[in-house]
Amino acid sequence: MTEVDILNKLENHLRNMKLSGHVGFDSLPDQLVNKSVQNGFVFNILCISETGLGKSTLMDSLFNTNFESTPSPHTLPSVKLKAQTFELQESNVRLKLTIVDTVGYGDQINKDDSFKSLVDYIDQQYEAYLQEELKIKRSLSSYHDSRIHACLYFICPTGHGLKSLDLVCMKKLDTKVNIIPIIAKADTISKTELQKFKAKINEELQANGVQIYHFPTDDETVAEQNNTMNSHIPFAVVGSTEFVKLGSKMIRARQYPWGIVQVEDPSHCDFVKLREMLIRTNMEDMREKTHTRHYELYRQKRLEQMGFTDVDSENKPVSFQQTFEAKRSNHLAELQAKEDEVRQMFVVRVKEKESELKESEKELHAKFEKLKKDHAEEKRKLEEARKKLEEEFVEFNRRKTQFSSSHTLTLGKNKKK
Amino acid sequence: MSSTTPTGPPPVPPSKPILSTPGSYMSSFQSGHTATIHSINKTHDKPAIAARPIPPPTVPKYSSSFGKIDRERNEFGGNKIDRLEREKEGIGGSYRLASLDRLANRQRLLEQNNGLGQVDAKNNGVIDNNNGQNGGNLNSGLQSKREMFFKGEAQVSPQGPPPQPPLINSSSIQNNINEKNHINTNGTHTNNTVQNSINKLIMKEKEANELNHHQDSNKLATERQEKEKQQAIVRPKVKELDGYVGFANLPNQVYRKAVKKGFEFTLMVVGESGLGKSTLINSMFLSDIYNQEQHPGPSFRAKKTVAVETTKVLLRENGVNLTLTIVDTPGFGDAVDNSNCWTPIIDFVESKYEEYLTAESRVHRKAISDSRVHLCLYFIAPSGHGLKQLDIEFMQRLHDKVNVIPVIAKADTLTPEEMQQFKKQVLNEIAQNKIKIYDFPEPLEDEEEAKALRQLRTRVPFAVVGSNTVIEVEGRKVRGRKYPYGVVEVENLDHCDFIALRNMVVRTHLQDLKDVTNNVHYENYRCRKLAGLGNDGKTKLSNKNPLAQMEEEKREHDSKMKKMEAEMEQVFEMKVKEKKQKLKDSELELTRRHEERKKALELQIRELEERRKAFEQEKAEWEQQNNVTLEELRRKSLEANSKETMDGKEKKKEKKKGLF
């Protein structure tokens, strides 16, 4: 009881204390587990595979159910993704499983953009989560997490290594998602071929620096198992929706004239290993890795892109709020500036129009001024003409009277002449 | 055997694909077929897995997590007795060891009995739990399901297997247990433990039958189960699984991770000096976190202002690490003027939120250590006269920032009747002042355990006594306080509510306290903090992230601008139109006037012309008449004038002269 570290008198120093009895906080993990069981679990798998490698069959086999998927067309111009969500329950554990299938992957002649829709989809899910996280009023505890936790990459069982499409695609995705490469339809490769094929694949992955998901070995309870499993990657799997009666047991298998391939027989294929690793041992780890590694990376990039930093130009730490405040004032200033600009532009326009109108008014006035002048001129001319006429008239009358008065005289004069 | 006829449902109720309660889960694993999934030495049984017929090929070492689940059942949904037993044992470890022994034993049996034995062994291991649980098993949701099974079985019972002699190698205990299984799984709705003894004999034969069946057709189990599942369509929404998939192991994965990560908890104690805060903390965690010699409680040091002090300790119990931070507030309520003595406390709580918020919103986040205050125990003086003003003020200020649980300190100064009265008064005053203390969530399942929890719940506000000393009473060693008139046992529910407090806070709701802190109080803080940023003091809270909101505002602003522009444009257009109209009008007016004038002028011109014409005519006529042209006349007169002008001039001169 008094095995307290006597020397540590510092307030904040972490002291190791011994308990003198059962306190009961060892139920904490149980409390946590209980809560998470109550809330249910969410797991999202992305299956990337060329058409016809048995995605749906494998999924059915993995979850021992029939997801009732329908075959998809193979002639699409681009890669599509199809997400389906199922509610599964086993004992008291509820699992909301989302399976995202590629449709038409590898069907195009030009496969340059094949990975694009995959990357877009994955990023969209991250973005949605990020948006939720950044909300002021958020409800992360009830948010349906749609981020992809595991990506099964189906490798075509050619026996000749990876296709360049495989490498390109995996390279693009390896920082975004936990990739688990698997060799599909492994019943077409013999044991020795398989060894070589696996080695070849691993070699190629390594040569191209593709980071696939490795089962964690830092937890001693599963370290050993995960370690041995890591050496079996990529798993060569066979799926089947058919059941064959073997002895008195119905088993998932594929019946060939030369024998029966049992899906759940570890000597036939790695299906059991895959299920063990994917579902039974490391599901939670993949969920965690997705959150702490891949999502974190995405978030980091996105926030930096948005202009957030942890330190300012003088290397002083900046809090989110500060950055946000700065952004906000910027934003408001921007809005104000925009408003001002709009107003300014309007004012200019008004002025332009005003002057234009004034101009035309002036023109009008000038025109009429001229007209007036012309008019006046004409009037003047008229006046002149009238005056002239009047003058002439007067003269005429004068002449007339003159003439009539002097007529006799003139006549006489004329007669005299 | 029904297994040979594909349509006949099996006689053994299978482990159901969908099981939602611990009760059903127990029953399912009892009836189920065990797979050898666990490594023997480490695991307790994990029923969900054990119930599954398909053995996983690898043997995963899932550590002790399986046992945890079981124990958790006991803690939460199951057996009260078990826990008390454990308490008596003092150390959880011994319990664990015992269960490990049982496990080993079980495994041995399992190997012997092949399949059948597994079931038995499991029951062997958990038998002590079953009794308590069976009563609660049969909640209504499950009943219908069971009835369905029951009916299904009843229909085909004629086809059922013929009775066979019981197996000799199964011990009587096993038989007994199997019987219990059988009853349980067959869908008996009455309490198992009661019926058990009565039905023992009746069921024995059938039971044996059952057992035999198990052994014979162990391999057919899968098939049977599948068939059974086809019958048991329970929830259409939920996809059914044909056999064991393994994600039922998820809780164990979570458990593993959680244990590995360890836990953090911050507990704040607030109350006037001398109410026994430090002692209570020591009693609660059964360790000398505060120790008079080496780690004196803060109040032993000479400080009389309200301070906030933290003590961090690492506790370890059964492999679970807990970093416990105790926040003490020495000097609270000790001054003469206690107004605002809560300020440093509020500041502390908020500063922790702030720290967390900053850490959370960093671009490069590291693992965030959670130092937020998860619980504030507020110590009420056992005055017997209700709350003091300070108590009310404090709780009112804190209740929306942190989980507050009021406790009545030094409860050994009040008699039970007084205490009853006092509690009532305190609760009344809390309600009157609209203080929301931490509300222990209503237990979900209607089981014994839940009842016990509910009972503990009614003890709020907990009246507690703490003690640092262990006293021997009637041969038992107990934490208590010795008085001349008796011993107050801290861990005795009849003496005080300490056990209720500890159980509720530590054993059942520690995680909930953390969750409420995170989901409610912290979110509220964050909301207040960021809302101030996002809305410029406006109270409107949008359900958007601030950035998206900014985008939205931008868009809004844009549209506003556009609208404004459009409006302005409209006004402008109108004005321009008006102006143009005016111009046009004035032009028209001017034109009109001009036209008028022009017309008038023209008229005048015409008139003039007419007059001229008339004049010309007259002139011409006259000229003709007189046979003389005006020109001639003019010439003549000019000639004459030249002579006459002189005369005229002279005449004028004369005239002018004449004028003067």
- Chain B nearest-CA residue for A282: B253
Nearest-by-Cβ selection for B314 from A15, A65, A331: A15
CB contact under 8 A, B245 and A279: yes
| Percent share of chain A, pLDDT over 70 | 90
Mean pLDDT of B633-657: 59
Question: Distance from B375 to chain A by nearest Cα, in Å?
Answer: 15
Nearest-by-Cβ selection for B541 from A12, A136, A309: A136
Which pLDDT value is given to residue B198?
42
CB contact under 8 A, A93 and B250: yes
Min mean pLDDT across A64-78, A163-177, A188-202, B482-496 is at A64-78
Omega of the bond leading into B461 within 30 degrees of 0 (cis)? yes
CB contact under 8 A, A372 and B594: yes
SS3 A43: strand
Among A36, A110, A97, A32, smallest CA distance to A64 is for A97
Which pLDDT value is given to residue B643?
63
Q: Is residue B411's pLDDT more than 60?
A: yes
Among B264, B336, B334, smallest CA distance to B510 is for B264
Residues 88-127 on B with a CB inside 8 Å of A are 89-92
B-chain CB neighbours of A23 within 8 Å are 284-286, 315, 317, 502, 506
A-chain CB neighbours of B476 within 8 Å are none
Q: Is residue B594's pLDDT more than 50?
A: yes
Which pLDDT value is given to residue A358?
86
| pLDDT, tens only, A255-308 | 888 888 888 888 888 888 899 889 988 999 999 999 999 999 999 998 888 777
Which pLDDT value is given to residue B80?
41
Q: Is residue A174's pLDDT more than 80?
A: yes
Q: Who has greater pLDDT, B607 or B83?
A: B607
Cα A172 from Cα A183, distance rounded (Å):
19
Which pLDDT value is given to residue A286?
93
Min mean pLDDT across A121-130, A145-154, B26-35 is at B26-35
Mean pLDDT of A345-364: 85
Which pLDDT value is given to residue A415?
46
Element (H, E) at A146: none
Mean residue pLDDT of chain B comes to 67
A-chain CB neighbours of B253 within 8 Å are 281-285
Q: Is residue A106's pLDDT more than 90?
A: no
Query: DSSP for B119-168?
Result: HHHHHHHHHHHHHHHHHHH--HHHHHHHHHHHHHHHHHGGGSPPP-PPPS
Which pLDDT value is given to residue B276?
85
CB contact under 8 A, B515 and A141: yes
Question: Distance from A75 to chain B by nearest Cα, in Å?
Answer: 31
Q: Is residue A223's pLDDT more than 80?
A: yes
A-chain CB neighbours of B259 within 8 Å are 29
The band of B404, judged by pLDDT with boundaries at 50, 70 and 90, is very high
Mutation to test the A interface, candidates B34, B58, B328, B524, most A Cβ within 10 Å: B58
The side-by-side arrangement of strands in the sheet containing B238-239 is A235-236, A179-183, A150-155, A41-48, A93-103, A80-90, B238-239
Phi-psi region at B58: left, alpha or beta (left = phi > 0; alpha = psi -120 to 50)? beta
| pLDDT, tens only, B349-392 | 999 999 898 888 888 888 888 899 999 999 999 988 889 888 99
Mean pLDDT of A252-256: 87
Mutation to test the A interface, candidates B1, B24, B233, B250, most A Cβ within 10 Å: B250
Which pLDDT value is given to residue A207?
92
Mean pLDDT of B10-30: 39
Which pLDDT value is given to residue B33?
40
Nearest-by-Cβ selection for B219 from A64, A247, A328: A247
The band of B203, judged by pLDDT with boundaries at 50, 70 and 90, is very low
User: Could you tell me if A354 and B578 are in contact, meaning their C-beta atoms sit under 8 angstroms apart?
Assistant: no
| pLDDT, tens only, B26-65 | 333 333 343 333 333 333 433 333 333 333 333 333 333 3
Q: Who has greater pLDDT, A220 or A211?
A: A211
CB contact under 8 A, B245 and A11: no
Mean pLDDT of B445-456: 76
The band of A151, judged by pLDDT with boundaries at 50, 70 and 90, is very high
- Chain B nearest-CA residue for A333: B554
CB contact under 8 A, B553 and A131: no
Q: Which residues contact B578 (CB under 8 A, 6 or more apart)?
A: none
* Phi, psi angle pair for A60, to nearest 5°: -60, -40
Q: Which residues contact B386 (CB under 8 A, 6 or more apart)?
A: B422, B425, B426, B429
CB contact under 8 A, B311 and A372: no
Q: Is residue B113's pLDDT more than 80?
A: no
| pLDDT, tens only, B462-513 | 999 888 888 888 888 888 888 888 888 888 888 888 989 998 888 888 999 9
pTM: 0.64
Which pLDDT value is given to residue B425?
92
Mean pLDDT of A367-383: 82
B-chain CB neighbours of A133 within 8 Å are 545
Which pLDDT value is given to residue A13?
60
Q: Is residue B632's pLDDT more than 80?
A: no
| Percent share of chain B, pLDDT over 90 | 11
SS3 A254: strand
Q: Is residue B218's pLDDT more than 70?
A: no
Mean pLDDT of B637-648: 63
Q: Who has greater pLDDT, B632 or B178?
A: B632
Mean residue pLDDT of chain A comes to 83
Min mean pLDDT across A82-96, B238-252, B405-419 is at B238-252
A-chain CB neighbours of B286 within 8 Å are 19-23
| Percent share of chain B, pLDDT over 70 | 55
B-chain CB neighbours of A4 within 8 Å are 287-288, 291, 294-295
Q: What angle do CA B470, B475, B481 make, to 5 degrees?
A: 30
CB contact under 8 A, A19 and B580: no
Q: Is residue B608's pLDDT more than 50?
A: yes
Q: How many CB atoms lie within 10 A of CB B369?
A: 11
| pLDDT, tens only, B139-170 | 444 334 333 433 333 333 334 344 444 443 43
Which pLDDT value is given to residue A126?
94
